[in-house]
Amino acid sequence: MALSIGIGVAGAIHRSEAVEAALRAYTEGQYPKAVQILQAASASEPQNSEIYLLLAKSYYEMQDFERASNRIRLQCTRHCRWR
């Protein structure tokens, strides 16, 4: 699964330190560590959809497909306008 998140206007990236740390862990294949960081970050940044996308992708890479799909489904229930 290709990683393609966090690119904003004109390529600018604005991320919290927690998301940066989780992204490093994800990129290094340390998916459980990324999950741990992201779960903590979600409490302080509940509206940050990048956290939930990376969390779902981390679960996917861990082959925890149920949690990955549940995370996406929950996020869409909360924030998707097309529902």
CA distance 78 to 72: 10
pLDDT of residue 76: 78
Average pLDDT value for residue range 16-20: 92
Does the domain formed by 15-79 have CATH 1.25.40.10? yes
pLDDT of residue 66: 96
pLDDT exceeds 90 at position 47? no
Q: Sorting pLDDT into bands at 50, 70 and 90, what band is 65?
A: very high
- Where are the domains positioned within the chain? 15-79
Average pLDDT value for residue range 31-53: 92
Alpha carbon distances (Å) from 29 to 8, 15, 38, 66, 75:
24, 20, 15, 20, 24
pLDDT of residue 10: 34
